[in-house]
Amino acid sequence: MTKKLFIRTYGCQMNVYDSARMADVLGPLGYAAVETPEAADMVIVNTCHIREHASEKTFSELGRLKQIKQDKSGEYIIAVAGCVAQAEGEEILARAPYVDIVLGPQTYHRLPEMVARAERGAAQNRLRNEVGAGRKVAGLGILDTDFPVEAKFDFLPAPTGAPGVTAFLSIQEGCDKFCTFCVVPYTRGAEYSRSVAQIVTEAEQLVALGVREVTLLGQNVNAYHGDGPDGTAWTLAQLAYRLAEIPGLERIRYTTSHPRDMDDALIAAHGDLPQLMPFLHLPVQSGSDRILQAMNRQHTADHYRRIIDKLRTARPDLCLSTDLIVGFPGESDADFQATLQLVRDVTFPAAFSFKYSARPGTPAATMAGQVEEAVKEARLAELNAVLQTQLTDFNRALVGKTLPVLFEKAGRHAGQMVGRSPYLQPVHVQGAADLIGQVRLVEIDQDHSFSLSGRLVAGPVPDVPPAAMRMTA
Ligand code: SAH
Ligand code: SF4
Ligand code: F3S
């Protein structure tokens, strides 16, 4: 009999990847995915600790699951995974005693043993229910938040299922940068890079399942330094050239990069490899050197600008997205103006902007000069207005251009297909289902708030876009 699994995923793309891998790990135990927590026998909440708001979602979700567990008279396994589990494992078990399993991001290869124990607990509840001994929702309280010496990647099965046209592939995990606002070095642990051989194998497996685009993931993906086939540590640039040799892999992206690790070889790869998409997420956080220093970012605003210049020289159609924090402790109006200036100078057609959120245990949480909520709100609104204009201008400028689009699925309307531009905007055209998995040229005729539409045009997709397709001079 198949057992039913529901996974709720919060947080970053790595959590999305981890959730897919947890499903792969549990497949051999007979678990298949279902669409709702009510329909499941087991539920995993994969959590994010990055900001207070993200973290709070864990406990409200657990409250809802408690009710389901009660309705099912305890015959229900609740697991909490991810970064809140890592940071607050004990607290979760204390506050939510109906939880059966708490596991960190580095131990999910051990899920089968934990689930086997939890299944015995659920079976005992079933027996109690059968003899009319009443409901028992208490969980088993299994906690595994080690940073084990063995790497989970060495124990994971091959990806299964139907990943679609585009898939994530974790190549690097953890972080040694210790930005003073950030929990990631504590929740994900020290930097670790998978071997080139393991990554190439997984990419080939994905391509065999129909994937045409991989997004290489890492908290610090461009700090990648995995074992290469020649016994030396390979860089992300070297890995990108190797992956570009895989037949059928049309597009390669990577996220998230740190400006410190944006080396010349990787910048050159953007000029050389048509598979490397000309859209890069490069968080800058602030435009003020004083604040960047207090954040321990290890780069200045000028250093960031120089990297952008080099990237645009190597690949003139390259566009950027970024992460920005407003209201970091000590941020003055002048510091904030420096951030606005940098945003205006670089231009970001996409960006994630956040109010600084104090995270327990991080150095910035106890720094002097915490900024008032109202000031953070005002700065965020001002920043977002500038970013919104840049997004609108960018999309508008695409009208009339011809872009290569990788088609992913049918649209909502009859005869409509949807793909993605190099810049990740959804692009709608009228076309047939055999477009799925193909890269085709589309002349853009309309921009909408979050998407574009256009018509297919004949012709081969050029490796390097001609000037008419370029977004920047
Ligand atoms: N290196 C990872 C970081 C993930 S966190 C990556 O770069 O993807 C993603 C973004 O969340 C960070 O770039 C930062 O802008 C934001 N962030 C992290 N901690 C934060 C905090 N305490 N308050 C507000 N935003 C934060
Ligand atoms: Fe966090 Fe900084 Fe590491 Fe990114 S580089 S994960 S922001 S500590
Ligand atoms: Fe959140 Fe952990 Fe990702 S804190 S952003 S899920 S690395």
Give 6-27 as a DSSP string.
Answer: EEEE-SSHHHHHHHHHHHHHHG
Is a pLDDT exceeding 90 seen at residue 312?
A: yes
Measured at the CA of 158, the angle between CA 120 and CA 81, to 5 degrees, comes to: 45
pLDDT confidence tier of residue 317, bands split at 50, 70 and 90: very high
Ligand 2 atom showing the smallest separation from residue 219 Cα: 6
Is a pLDDT exceeding 60 seen at residue 353?
A: yes
Q: How many domains does the chain have?
A: 3
Dump pLDDT digits (tens) for 195-248.
999 999 999 999 999 999 999 999 999 999 999 999 999 999 999 999 999 999
Say which CATH number the domain at 275 has.
Answer: 3.80.30.20
Is a pLDDT exceeding 70 seen at residue 134?
A: no
* CA 257 to mean position of chain CA atoms: 12
Eight-class DSSP state of 37 = S
pLDDT at 283: 98
Same domain membership, residue 193 and residue 66: no
- Give the H or E element holding residue 264: helix 264-272
The runs of H, that is alpha helices, within 301-332 are: 301-314
User: Among 323, 379, 380, which is best to mutate for testing ligand 1, by the most ligand atoms less than 8 A from CB?
Assistant: 323
Say which CATH number the domain at 463 has.
Answer: 2.40.50.140
Cβ–Cβ under 8 Å, residues 252 and 273: yes
pLDDT confidence tier of residue 73, bands split at 50, 70 and 90: confident
- pTM metric for this prediction: 0.94
pLDDT confidence tier of residue 81, bands split at 50, 70 and 90: very high
User: Among 170, 182, 355, which is best to mutate for testing ligand 1, by the most ligand atoms less than 8 A from CB?
Assistant: 182
pLDDT at 464: 63
Average of pLDDT values for 253-264? 97
Q: Is 319 annotated as a binding residue?
A: no
Residue with tokens 């709720």: 8
Is a pLDDT exceeding 50 seen at residue 471?
A: no
Looking at all shown ligands, the one closest to residue 296's CA atom is 2
Nearest CA to ligand 2 atom 2: 179
pLDDT at 468: 45
CA of 246 to the centre of ligand 1 (A): 32
Average of pLDDT values for 92-106? 96
**Which percentage of the chain shows pLDDT scores above 90?**
87
Lowest model confidence (mean pLDDT) among 209-213, 343-347, 362-366, 469-473: 469-473
Same domain membership, residue 250 and residue 325: yes
User: What is the domain range of residue 455?
Assistant: 399-469
Same domain membership, residue 298 and residue 277: yes
User: Among 17, 172, 184, which is best to mutate for testing ligand 3, by the most ligand atoms less than 8 A from CB?
Assistant: 184
pLDDT confidence tier of residue 27, bands split at 50, 70 and 90: very high
Same domain membership, residue 348 and residue 204: yes
List 173's β-bridge partners, or say none.
Answer: 192
Same domain membership, residue 373 and residue 270: yes
Same domain membership, residue 337 and residue 228: yes
Say which CATH number the domain at 29 has.
Answer: 3.40.50.12160
Alpha-carbon distance of 357 to 374, in angstroms, equals 13
Calculate the alpha carbon distances from 247 to 240, 288, 381 in Å.
14, 44, 46
Is a pLDDT exceeding 50 seen at residue 113?
A: yes
The Cα diameter of the chain in Å comes to 76
- The one-letter code for the residue type at 58 is T
Dump pLDDT digits (tens) for 425-470.
999 999 999 999 999 999 999 999 889 999 999 988 877 655 445 4
Same domain membership, residue 319 and residue 233: yes
CA of 48 to the centre of ligand 3 (A): 5
Looking at all shown ligands, the one closest to residue 18's CA atom is 3
Alpha-carbon distance of 422 to 405, in angstroms, equals 7
Same domain membership, residue 191 and residue 114: no
Dump pLDDT digits (tens) for 32-45.
999 999 999 999 99
Question: Which of helix, strand or coil describes residue 394?
Answer: helix
Alpha-carbon distance of 203 to 169, in angstroms, equals 7
Average pLDDT of every residue of the chain = 94
Same domain membership, residue 96 and residue 140: yes
Query: Which residue, of 373, 396, 419, is where some domain finishes?
Result: 396
Average of pLDDT values for 266-280? 96
Same domain membership, residue 267 and residue 162: yes
Dump pLDDT digits (tens) for 135-193.
677 888 899 999 988 889 999 988 887 789 999 999 999 999 999 999 999 999 999 99
Query: Which residue, of 144, 178, 207, is where some domain finishes?
Result: 144
Same domain membership, residue 242 and residue 349: yes
Query: Which residue, of 342, 371, 396, is where some domain finishes?
Result: 396
Cis ω on the peptide bond leading into residue 256 (within 30° of 0)? yes
Average of pLDDT values for 288-301? 98
Same domain membership, residue 378 and residue 422: no
